[in-house]
A and B are shown apart, each in its own frame.
Chain A
Amino acid sequence: MVIESPLLAFLIVAFAVAGSMLVGAKLLRVRAKHSSPLKPTTYECGESPAGPAWVRFHARYYVVALFFVVFDIEAAFLFPWALVVREAGTAGLVAVFSFVAVLMVGWLWAVKKGALRWQ
């Protein structure tokens, strides 16, 4: 068997449980006797909806998303090092710290510029 098989088994059961709950609900649900054209309308506080929700929308955290990518990649580099901190010793510390220091300078600059503030 491949090494991942216990994980695969767990995920299969997890999604089967979630899926079977939906199927069970489909079998047991009560069907409405009368349908109304108003019932399946989108909820908007009782008014008829003013247009679809799929419109251009200002995502106010564009810079935050960029920063997330930067720090996520930082973490991707840190994880392998985290396992061998003892073996890597002082040389490893110096290398990783200079890398993180460069990132943190970028972070400081963004804070100074107010780039991370809600716009």
Chain B
Amino acid sequence: MNAFLEALLIATVIITVLMTVTAWALWFERKFAARMQSRLGPTMVGKSGLLQPVADLLKLLQKEDILTTHADGLLFNLAPVLAAGAAIGAAAVVPFAPNIVGANLDLGVLFLLAIGAVTVLPVFAAGWGSNNKFALLGGMRAIAQSISYEVPLLLAALVPVILAGSMNLGEIVEYQSKHGWFFAWPFFLGIPAFVLFLLAMLAEANRIPFDIPEAESELVAGVTTEYTGMKFALFYMAEYVHTLVASAVAAALFLGGWDGPFAPGLHWMVAKTLALFVGVYWVRWTLLRFRSDQLMRIAWYFLVPTGVALVAGTAVWVVWRS
């Protein structure tokens, strides 16, 4: 029982840190976006608006909880909890430092891909349960997008798995600290696979330029149209946690995770994760949104064959070198 209690404790610490980072990531994104558009962003609550996330949370906690008359109550209420829970749960196998990991699974990569694919179900449940046409369209689009980008994501994640010969994220990072980051060597496989992984990850987390499921200029707010208060906040949070965890996974798979000179492993992991996270924001506030059909065409005509070619190239490389 002691081991289980210890695991509970570690999980609580990791999740608390994750949620705190997420809260201030919201503040950071608003500031960052504002600066990119020559605005000031939040300034009023606390010094340079630093307490804005707290104010937002308090506001959302008090909002009235509205369940529309024609909605499916069970699905409607369950969806936000599932979305947030699955997004946070994905962090379980991410190695933040050699000995800081929620669950050191041998099938870590597989678990990540599985729970990443699960996150689309609550989104569709929300769309269907709302009984709202905008929400349903958003849910439909989310499923189409998720199943299309799942395939390139799987293929891109296979490249480091083949190179390291392991699905344990910790072992993949260790392999990279011995033989060089996959981003640097073999760079002709590592860099394209990294880019492919990032693109598919953006699409899985419904970030711009792939945020067609909640395109606010055409679908009001997509699946979250009917949600108020804390339930809306849970969906919003799930999206940010998903992006954060995906950045951490990309850092572990391709950028050598905790490996780096001069500083403790945890610092390197956090620095790499946050750098990728900021990159995602940068993309979001720079690019436009793709149309639904363009989105599918990119995945099936371009990303899938690229992924297959990358996996084949990696396998040939590994066999040839051994």
Using a CB–CB distance below 8 Å, which chain A residues touch chain B?
Answer: 1, 4-15, 17-19, 21-22, 24-26, 28-32, 39-45, 49, 52-54, 57, 59-61, 64-65, 67-68, 71-72, 75, 78-79, 82-86, 89-90, 92-93, 96-97, 100, 104, 107, 111, 116-118
Tell me if B133 and A53 are in contact (CB < 8 A). yes
Tell me if A22 and B234 are in contact (CB < 8 A). yes
Q: B-side binding surface: helix, strand, loop or mixed?
A: helix
Tell me if A65 and B147 are in contact (CB < 8 A). yes
Tell me if A117 and B132 are in contact (CB < 8 A). no
Using a CB–CB distance below 8 Å, which chain B residues touch chain A?
Answer: 1, 3-4, 7-8, 10-12, 14-15, 19, 60-71, 77, 80-82, 84-86, 88-89, 91-93, 102-105, 110-111, 128, 130-136, 140, 144, 147-148, 150-151, 154-155, 158, 161-162, 165-167, 220, 225-226, 229-231, 233-234, 292-293, 296-297, 300-301, 304-305, 308, 311-312, 315-316, 318-319, 322
A9: chain B residues within 8 A (beta carbon) = 4, 7-8, 10-11, 102-103
**Residue ID in chain A nearest B322 by CB atoms:** A86
Q: How far is the CA of A93 from the CA of B317 in the complex (A)?
A: 11
Tell me if A1 and B4 are in contact (CB < 8 A). yes
B67 touches which of A4, A40, A64, A85 (Cβ 8 Å):
A40
Tell me if B65 and A25 are in contact (CB < 8 A). yes
Q: How far is the CA of A5 from the CA of B3 in the complex (A)?
A: 8
Chain B CB count within 10 A is highest, among A11, A40, A65, for A11
Tell me if A83 and B161 are in contact (CB < 8 A). yes
15 contacts between A and B (CB under 8 A): A7-B102, A7-B103, A14-B92, A18-B80, A18-B85, A18-B234, A22-B234, A25-B230, A28-B62, A30-B63, A40-B69, A42-B226, A43-B226, A44-B132, A89-B319
Q: How far is the CA of A57 from the CA of B147 in the complex (A)?
A: 18
B135: chain A residues within 8 A (beta carbon) = 53
Tell me if A43 and B220 are in contact (CB < 8 A). yes
B158 touches which of A41, A67, A78 (Cβ 8 Å):
A78
Give the distance to chain A from B28, nearest Cβ to Cβ, in Å.
Answer: 21
Give the distance to chain B from A73, nearest Cβ to Cβ, in Å.
Answer: 11
B92 touches which of A10, A22, A25, A45 (Cβ 8 Å):
A10
Tell me if B167 and A79 are in contact (CB < 8 A). yes
A42 touches which of B70, B77, B110 (Cβ 8 Å):
B70
Q: How far is the CA of A93 from the CA of B312 in the complex (A)?
A: 9
B61: chain A residues within 8 A (beta carbon) = 24-25, 28-29
Q: How far is the CA of A64 from the CA of B111 in the complex (A)?
A: 24
